[in-house]
């Protein structure tokens, strides 16, 4: 847990952030189910990498993150680019704040946590929908299912008869 203090339009905000620290001193935010966000204070860089496969959906999440950081004035706009890690996206943030004397690292982490808080309801909804869909398939209600033998068996089902087509001898050898 890291305690950060940031001056915002609402006043001074003190927030505890759940993050991990790497051996090199980088901060790793792993709350998002699709991407990991790494803040590198020694390089003044923010890096977002996919947790699993890189998809168009992953890119959209990274794009939303860096758009929020750009709108918040946290990152240097012309530094947004793809990283040397496959599917990664990165941007630099300034070493020090010129306008207001704030710790730029704490501001960057604060805006990233705001992004994570904004994204959380979307992923909770998606997980609940996936669970409901799975439950509907594996444990259907009595209205949506039939007991074994309830549906009568028909004499002929499907499009290809077992003995071939009686009038079309040529099709008999095809199947």
Each of the 175 residues of the chain gets a pLDDT tens digit; together they read 788 888 877 788 888 888 999 999 999 999 999 999 999 999 999 999 999 888 888 999 999 999 999 998 999 999 999 999 999 999 999 998 877 788 899 999 999 999 999 999 998 999 999 999 999 899 888 888 887 777 777 777 777 666 655 555 555 555 5
pLDDT at 13: 85
| Sequence-ordered alpha helix ranges (H) in the chain | 56-71, 104-138, 169-172
Q: What is the pTM of this model?
A: 0.76
Give counts: helices (H), strands (E), the chain: 3, 8
Residues 6+ apart with CB under 8 A from 38: 22, 26, 27, 28, 29, 46, 47, 48, 49
Cβ distance 114 to 67 under 8 Å? no
What are the phi and psi torsion angles at 146 (to 5°)? -130, 150
Name, in order, each residue with C-beta under 8 angstroms of 25's C-beta and a sequence gap of 6 or more.
Answer: 41, 42
CA-based max dimension of the chain: 90
- The residues, ordered by sequence, that sit 6+ positions from 122 with a Cβ below 8 Å of its Cβ are none
- The SS3 call for residue 47 is strand
What pLDDT, in 10s, does the model give residues 117-137?
A: 999 999 899 999 999 999 989
For the chain, the straight-line distance linking the first and the last C-alpha, in angstroms and rounded, comes to: 66
């Amino acid at each position: 847990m890291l305690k950060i203090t940031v001056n915002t339009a609402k006043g001074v905000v003190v927030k505890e952030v759940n993050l991990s620290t790497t051996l090199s001193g980088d901060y790793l935010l792993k709350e998002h189910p699709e991407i990991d966000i790494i803040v590198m204070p020694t390089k003044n860089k923010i890096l977002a990498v996919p947790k699993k496969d890189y998809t168009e959906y992953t890119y959209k999440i990274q794009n939303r993150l860096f758009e929020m950081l750009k709108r918040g004035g946290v990152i240097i706009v012309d530094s947004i680019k793809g990283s040397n890690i496959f599917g990664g996206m990165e941007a630099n943030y300034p070493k020090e704040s010129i306008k207001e004397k704030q710790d730029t690292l704490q501001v960057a982490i604060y805006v990233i946590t705001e992004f994570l808080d904004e994204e959380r309801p979307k992923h909770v909804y998606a997980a609940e929908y996936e669970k409901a869909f799975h439950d509907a398939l594996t444990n259907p209600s009595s209205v949506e299912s039939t007991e074994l033998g309830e549906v009568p068996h028909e004499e002929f089902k499907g499009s290809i008869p077992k003995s071939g087509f009686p009038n079309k001898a040529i099709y008999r050898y095809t199947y």
